Structure 1
Amino acid sequence: MATATADRPKTQGPSVKPPKRPFRPRTLVIAVVAWGLAALFLAPYLEMIVTALRPKSELRDRSYLPSSFEWSNFIEVWKQSELGQNLQVTLLVAGGATVLVLLVALPAAYYTARMKFRGRKFFLLLVLVTQMFQPTALLIGLYREFYQLGMLNSVWTLIITNAAFNLAFAVWILTAYIGSIPAELEEAAMVDGTSRFGAMIRVTLPLALPGVVTALIFTFITTWNEFAMGLTLTTDPASQPLTVGINNFIGAYTVEWNYLFAASVVAIIPVIILFAFIERHVVSGLTAGSVK
């Protein structure tokens, strides 16, 4: 009898709807403020897109929207400048600097986080101090050095310099993130026969992916937006990065605003796409080490 009762399917009672949350004026105020701030930050980008599509004859008009959209501005900006070559140079420099930073920062951060060696705190302090140097303060020395080496107007010159100025942040953020991963996980893998290098690649590196992505996106965006070193170390228009190529639309007496903003729209699209794909990893990587 007890078995029959136990096997009998239980009847579900009427579903209870969760109580509705009462309306709070504070929620409405927060939503209005949030949307207002979003509109405030998006307004310059909307103005940039509208100006990029504005005919040249209407650049000085007071109306916000033009009478017609000049889509040919995006075609003309490719024909009248080295924008395509500049975009290729920027992609090579940003990608090369990011790969170089990760190849150097990962072993350095792993060793610093796992090994207790003499001078460890001084090394981390030195890494932090180097992040405080302004690249523009070293431009004259860098220009003279690369001039003597015959490496001006070279993609490798921009890759090396950008990687050097972004390496400190990558080491710092990766050290904090790897330090938050329990070392017992690697020890368990090494007990099973894996070497330390194999444990780092198979265990630590997948767990440290948010920190790696944070270092990646920071290095890529910083290199993508870099201007001073690209302007100083390159003189050939075909060898200049995209930021310098866009600056060429600003003349001594006139500014071609429609082409300037059209090139700016082209420049921000790759960064927006990259950040949209890995934004969630960036947030978790920046908070690494804050909670133990």
Structure 2
Amino acid sequence: MSTITLSSAARARATGRHFVPRLSWLWSGLFGCLVILNIAPLIWGILTSFKGQADLFRFPPAFVSFTPTLENYERVFLSGFGGNLGISLVNALAAVVLALVLGLPAAYAFDRFNFPLRRLLFLAVVASIPLSIGAAALLIPNYVYFASLGLTNTPIVLPMLYAAHQLPMAIWVIKGTIEGIPRELDEAATADGCTTFQILRYVILPLVRPALGAAAILVFVGSWNEFVASSVMVDSPSLRTVQPAIYSFIGFFGREWGPLTASATLAILPILIIFALFGRLMVSGLTKGSVKG
């Protein structure tokens, strides 16, 4: 009987060892399919941007058997798209600076100080995080408010809106890291005669740099990809950002697929470069506060 029991247990263990690799292969296959589904449109758009007019409408479509050309990119830059890239870059960087300058002391205050309505205010901050994805519901009140101030169609309106939309996300990311910093460091600095600003500057700031980097990346990406506010708050060609400029290639008589895909390719290049260079920084900043101590 014991022999039979041992044999059954051995078969069960062997079956379990075979089942785990099969399950891992299944998950790997599903993940591979998901990657292909996400990357395929991107690769197809990039290839399309290098096709001439004749190759754009060839059937069956030409994946690699076509003559590459830069005429679509030439047309995009002749339309002033380079200026749109520069405007978007300035707006996004200004939003990053504003969000970090305001987000760091706010996150520190939410974590270290007790003040009236602190929990309620932080709950409002967390509830406002979806603004970083888009704030179409606030478009009309924002437009009415900024129009009454005479700030629509000005260089400062979009950085202010971008920073306001991305600020809750920045506060949440930075606060998560500050929670993992021992309060004893603040107490030791206070005993040495440091003010609150000096503690923030010389103690907290060096320790939250990964979180600041992660927040900066998220703010930059959110500001760069914003479309609704930038297409309504600004209508001057000299202040037009990247996303409305891409949309301008969808004309009354149809889509101009060559310039459209070329401009979209140029628009995603900064995002790809940022994630390629600073992707690890973002992961480090988002996970640094996950373990307190």
The two structures have a TM-score, normalised by structure 2, of 0.84
Q: Identity across aligned pairs (percent)? A: 34
Partner of 2:10: none
How do residues 73-112 of structure 1 correspond to structure 2 at under 5 angstroms?
73-79=72-78, 81-112=79-110
- CA–CA separation in structure 2 for the residues paired with 1:144 and 1:51: 40
Amino acid at match of 2:77: W
Partner of 1:250: 250
Partner of 1:157: 157
Kept in 1: contact 2:52–2:258 (CA 8 A): yes
SS in 2 for 1:243: helix
Change beyond 3 A, Cα 1:100–1:30: same
Change beyond 3 A, Cα 1:288–1:123: farther
- CA–CA separation in structure 2 for the residues paired with 1:191 and 1:273: 44
Partner of 1:237: 237
Amino acid at match of 2:43: L
Kept in 2: contact 1:54–1:68 (CA 8 A): yes
Gaps of 5+ in 1: 1-21
Q: Give CA deviations for 1:58-114 in whole Å, capped at 9, x if unaligned.
A: 2111223252011232122101x1211111110111010110111111111111111
Kept in 2: contact 1:92–1:155 (CA 8 A): no
Partner of 2:179: 179
Q: Give CA deviations for 1:146-168 in whole Å, capped at 9, x if unaligned.
A: 33333222220001111111111
Cα RMSD (Å): 2.3
In terms of fraction of residues, the more helix-rich structure is 2
The two structures have a TM-score, normalised by structure 1, of 0.85
Partner of 1:212: 212
Partner of 1:7: none
Amino acid at match of 1:252: F
- CA–CA separation in structure 1 for the residues paired with 2:54 and 2:237: 28
The Cα of 1:219 is off from its aligned counterpart by: 0.9
SS in 2 for 1:89: helix
- CA–CA separation in structure 2 for the residues paired with 1:71 and 1:84: 15
The Cα of 1:193 is off from its aligned counterpart by: 4.6
The Cα of 1:288 is off from its aligned counterpart by: 4.9
Kept in 2: contact 1:89–1:155 (CA 8 A): no
- CA–CA separation in structure 2 for the residues paired with 1:243 and 1:97: 16
Partner of 1:40: 37
